[in-house]
Amino acid sequence: MPFLTALAPSERYVQMLGRRHKLLTDWARQLLLLSARWLPGREVIAVADSSYAAIELLAAVRHRLTVITRLRLDARLFDPPPLRPPGTKGRPRVSGARQPTLLQRLADPKTAWQRVTVTGWYGQTERRLDIVSGTALWYHPGKQVPIRWLLVRDPAGAFEPQAFLCTDQAADPLTILQLFVRRWSVEVTFAEVRRHVGVETQRQWSDLAIARTTPCLLALFSLVTLWAGTLAARGLVLPRRAAWYAKPEITFSDALAAIRRQLWIAQAFSTSPQTLRATRHGSAASIRQGGTRRCEAAVAGSQPLPAKGLGRTAAWRHRDARDWHDAARSAAPDGSRSRSARIASRAKRP
């Protein structure tokens, strides 16, 4: 669920304003460190796509949280620098021997592949894959970050080999793969907010509106999801099905429909507090009958009673009685009634 957003203007836009462009990785670093500061006692794991596979970003946040993202197959991977013997002159080494690239490991017949089963593979129940993993130092002149790399291939050849990285070198390779698959929910969230909430379809004419609307719509998505979760626990959210489409699980459209239904019920069938208290001690039928008797007594005595304190049904009938009373008072001395009194009487006659 979305809980934190940031507007990342394009480079062309900030150049028009004469400002310095802030890279997407800089925005990500700021948001990740802020999330880690908000949750000091919890382990934070960020799963991102290849746009965030940058050494600067990973090195800046790896001490506060764990990042899992894609890795280039031709990335420069090295061994850690060897221990420096005492008395060695010169600058210390920053990297050790270079390791084979992931492309070379993929083509090497001596690579020790391990067959694993991944559950929940992009909407499927399970998928059998071959994986191989190891630790390395992702090094580029002037910057470096220690990682655990993971190479994945499909024995059936349904997709191309892929590589992933994790800033936690002690992480389990299968856990890394399972966590990265969960990133698909982010893509589903973006699709749902576009389809049902209206993200990227709104029109704004000011910078403040642009900065406000999308975060508010994403927050609305989270609120609907949380509210629907409480309703689902009470059995009030059911998947809407069609004869040609069997949907076993609840989607966001079902959650949105359930929330709207609850709001409509609250507006159309809510009762006054006094009626609600009386319902706890007696039946609703006795309340309605009591209200009707009070209205009939007001008509017989030609003295209108205030509607305050009555239930919704009793208040409507009281208004009818008050109209009858006004019509009776507007009658002429000779027994005839005025035209307005006749119209009121005809409209309110049962």
- Which pLDDT value is given to residue 65? 95
Give the pLDDT band (50/70/90) at residue 62: very high
Evaluate if residue 34 carries a pLDDT over 60: yes
Evaluate if residue 280 carries a pLDDT over 50: no
- Which pLDDT value is given to residue 174? 93
- Which pLDDT value is given to residue 38? 94
DSSP string for 200-236: TT---SSHHHHHHHHHHHHHHHHHHHHHHHHHHHTT-
pTM greater than 0.75 (yes/no): no
Give the pLDDT band (50/70/90) at residue 300: very low
Return the CATH superfamily for domain 11-78+95-182: Transposase Inhibitor Protein From Tn5; Chain A, domain 1 (3.90.350.10)
| CA–CA dist 309, 169 (Å, integer) | 69
Burial class (CB in 10 A: 0-12, 13-18, 19+), 103: middle
Q: What is the mean pLDDT of the chain?
A: 79
- What backbone torsions phi and psi does residue 139 show, to the nearest 5 degrees? -120, 140
Evaluate if residue 315 carries a pLDDT over 60: no
Give the pLDDT band (50/70/90) at residue 52: very high
- Which pLDDT value is given to residue 303? 38
- Which pLDDT value is given to residue 271? 66
Burial class (CB in 10 A: 0-12, 13-18, 19+), 66: middle
Query: Could you tell me where the DSSP H helices lie in the chain?
Result: 11-17, 24-38, 55-61, 102-107, 173-181, 184-192, 207-233, 252-268, 273-281, 284-301, 312-329, 339-348
- Which pLDDT value is given to residue 307? 41
Tens-digit pLDDT profile for residues 176-210: 999 999 888 888 899 999 999 888 888 888 878 88
* Better-scored residue on pLDDT, 298 or 53: 53
Evaluate if residue 305 carries a pLDDT over 60: no
Distances (CA, A) of 285 to 184, 281, 289, 294: 53, 12, 6, 14
Evaluate if residue 335 carries a pLDDT over 90: no
- Which pLDDT value is given to residue 92? 85
- Which pLDDT value is given to residue 299? 31
| For range 27-56, the mean pLDDT | 94
CATH 3.90.350.10 residue spans of the chain: 11-78+95-182
Are the C-beta atoms of 149 and 173 separated by less than 8 Å?
A: no
* Better-scored residue on pLDDT, 160 or 336: 160
Share of the chain above pLDDT 90, in %: 42
Give the pLDDT band (50/70/90) at residue 272: low
Evaluate if residue 281 carries a pLDDT over 80: no
